[in-house]
Amino acid sequence: MADEKKDSLWKRIRFKYRLSILREDTLHECWHIRLSGLGAFTIVTLLFLLTIALFSLVIIYTPIRNVLPGYSENIRQGLIIESARLDSLETSMQLQMNYLDVIKQVMAGEVQSDTVISLDSMQILAREELLLAKSEATQEFIAQYESKEKDNLALFDIQPNEITYTFFRPAHGVVIDTYAPNQGKYGISLQTVANENVASVLAGSVIMIDLEINNTYTVLIQHLNYVSVYKHLGKVTKGIGTTVQAGETIGLIAKDKPLYFELWQNGNSLNPEDIIAF
């Protein structure tokens, strides 16, 4: 019984119907179509899927998608990016135009050269002699002072065989760690700005350049019976064996590092603050 109902249902959906279009006056058949229930369902399903595909293509490839929810945020971000690019291009173009205007003015001879004031060396020497000249009253005062303080001044007389040195400051900064040989500190630390110049304290020769583990350099300079040590240099501008003058730059301090400075004389460490004014 169930098989008969199943066969009957299958026959019904496969049973074809004829749809005809007739002329009203002559009842002549103009067009007809034969469809079963299954065929009609298949055609309707295909038309539905085709319609969905067509609308999807229209939404994806036409500006209609901009009115749908969720697309406005992407448009806003795109507008911001394009606006920033436009501003950058406008700034670049303005700089280029200003540069071209200056070039045109220079080529046209419209730019006036800076005023140069010539200096007469003879006038400079004359002014120097005038400023250094001592009046009679000044000379008399100096003579009286020297005669009065003769004994005291004799204490500071430099012996002919005595060598005097003028030490330069190795760098501009603040002493943050003082000399303490009993704690193993044979030098001082100077806190400076980044890339501060490091200068030789005396004239001498570079005898050693060593690269430390922390990627900083240590430089040793020999000055007769003195040796100066400079640590935490980020860049060295002199080579081993190079002769340097007092106050000449030998390198730059590394970033975020203080300059560590030592001064030795005949193998004995000295307190740099006792010799150099920091």
Name residue 84's amino acid: A
As beta bridge partners, residue 29 has 22
Q: Return the axis-axis angle of helices 37-61 and 2-14, rounded to nearest 10°.
A: 60
Nearest CA-CA partner of 254 in 192, 174, 172, 202: 192
Least confident segment among 120-124, 173-177, 201-205, 216-220: 120-124
The whole-number average pLDDT for the span 34-42 is 77
Q: How confident is the model at residue 103 (pLDDT cuts 50, 70, 90)?
A: confident
Q: Is the pLDDT of residue 116 over 70?
A: no
Q: What is the CATH class of 174-274? A: mainly beta
Backbone phi, then psi, for 223, in 5-degree steps?
A: -120, 85
Model pLDDT, residue 206: 94
The tens digit of pLDDT for each residue in 74-96 reads 666 777 778 778 877 888 888 88
Model pLDDT, residue 15: 74
Cβ neighbours, 10 Å, residue 206 = 19
Q: CB neighbours of 197 closer than 8 A, spacing ≥ 6?
A: 171, 249, 251, 252
Q: Using CA atoms, how far apart are residues 233 and 255, in angstroms rounded to an integer?
A: 9
Least confident segment among 19-33, 236-250, 264-278: 19-33
Domain boundaries, the chain: 7-57, 174-274
The tens digit of pLDDT for each residue in 218-237 reads 999 999 889 999 999 999 99
Q: Is the pLDDT of residue 149 over 60?
A: no
The residue ranking higher by pLDDT, 132 or 141, is: 141
Least confident segment among 29-33, 44-48, 130-134, 201-205: 130-134
CA atoms within 13 A of residue 52's CA, in its CB half-sphere: 5
Model pLDDT, residue 44: 87
Both tokens assigned to 44 = 């309707």
Structural element, H or E, at residue 131 = helix 121-132
Within 134-207, where are the H helices? 136-148, 150-154
